[in-house]
Amino acid sequence: MSHKIALIPGDGIGTTVIEAAIRVAEKAAPGLLVPTSFDWSCDTWLKTGRMMPQDGIEILRGYDAIFLGAVGWPAKVPDSVSLHGLLLPIRKAFVQYANIRPHRLLPGVQGPLRKERFDILCIRENTEGEYSGAGGRVHQGTSSEVAVETAIFTRAGVERILRFGFEQAMARSKRLASVTKSNAQKYTMVFWDEVTDQLAAEFPEVEVTHYHVDAIAARMVMAPESLDVIVASNLFGDILSDLGAAIQGGLGFAASANIDPTRQNPSMFEPVHGSAPDIAHLGIANPIAAIWSLRMMLDHLGEAAAAARIMRAIEAVTARGIGTVPGQDRTDAITAAILDELEGE
Ligand code: NAD
Ligand code: IPM
Ligand code: MN
């Protein structure tokens, strides 16, 4: 059976890495994905005043999954406009509350810590918290200006992401790190800690540890082997997943899945990285994060065999030292090596 995919390449290297990933999809499983491309981006905003059409969400609802490159080009459109006009509304509208970000060293990649092994699964709350969008500014531009940005944590929202985290821990090492800043944030984060403890009673086999976000950031660098599944709020998960990406060798390796676990809405797959304006025209973006995200999409769509073929090809290529050092190999060369590997299967 084929799957209808909405492609949103977006801005900067988003377009490059999505093109590379689609070539890989066509080689690994010809005809399995039927992509339709949408040119929603900062350029679209400059032309139309919108990042996506008014009925963009309704258009996307008709697809089995969404595959996105990157959104944002701050020199043309303020990030607060572009991200709130495209990426963030999709995550919210489709209740993609679980953002799954695997951070692990691929064969042949050393990473800055020079660890033999690094393997953490970051589960990030993806629809509320610090990204609620609630807030405002008063007395703008005056010396009495005040800006407020309200983090909103609902019991339903906190419970479902923590439950998802516990379930992921059950499927891995049965260790779960719950991340807060409850020493400083006495409402939202104390609440998160309480819900963690309540759910822990339902998962007696899972060993839960509470960490403050500052402490776990240090631990990810100093003793990453002591961590396995991490569950964190929207903002904390965002920051920890760039740290995870750095430890796995760079942003070009970090994949992600924005999942609606109820499967009532399409889920969205995208690399963790952004549009990388600093390298966008150099042809050196690493496509592996996007290709790994494609693999996560195929797994989600029930195409385990194609997903596994793609991951084997990525790993065979990095094991040969191709694409392992940022900037060393060109996007085309990394993609061609993965295509060759698939050809040889
Ligand atoms: P970024 O992730 O685009 O870049 C950070 C650094 O990592 C840059 O030096 C970049 O060259 C490097 N990098 C990123 N991806 C790479 C890859 N595949 N290969 C090699 N190097 C790579 O973050 P930024 O510079 O803060 O953001 C640029 C724009 O992207 C902004 O508009 C930002 O809001 C947006 N953004 C979008 C997303 C998304 O769409 N999910 C994620 C992050 C940032
Ligand atoms: C990410 C990005 C986005 C986020 C930005 C661009 C709004 O950093 O997907 O990690 O913070 O979620
Ligand atoms: Mn981020």
* Complex-level ipTM: 0.99
DSSP-assigned letters across all residues of 227-250: --EEEE-HHHHHHHHHHHHHHTT-
Mean pLDDT of 252-278: 98
* Best CA proximity match to 32, nearest among 269, 306, 295: 306
The residue behind tokens 């531009």 is 141
Q: What is d(CA 203, CA 163) in angstroms, rounded to the nearest whole number?
A: 9
pLDDT at 209 over 90: yes
Fold match, 1-96+257-345 / 112-247: yes
pLDDT in tens, 166-194: 999 999 999 999 999 999 999 999 999 99
pTM of this prediction exceeds 0.95: yes
CA distance 26 to 310: 11
Q: Domain extents for the chain?
A: 1-96+257-345, 112-247
Residue carrying the six token digits 């906190």: 158
- The encoded tokens of residue 179 equal 């991340």
Atom of ligand 2 nearest to the CA of 235: 11
Domain 112-247 in this protein, CATH class: alpha beta
Give the CATH fold of the 1-96+257-345 domain.
Isopropylmalate Dehydrogenase (3.40.718)
Q: Which atom of ligand 1 is nearest to the CA of 74?
A: 32
Probe ligand 1: pick from 106, 275, 278, 279, max atoms within 8 Å of CB?
Answer: 275
Pairing of strands 229-232, 255-259: unpaired
Which of 11, 41, 83 has the most ligand 2 atoms within 8 A of CB, as the residue to mutate?
Answer: 83
- Quote the CA–CA distance of 14 and 238 in Å, as a whole number: 18
Angle at alpha carbon of residue 165, lines to 159 and 168, rounded to 5°:
140
Phi, psi of 295 (to 5 degrees): -60, -40
Cα separation, 133 vs 140, in Å, equals: 18
pLDDT for res 345: 78
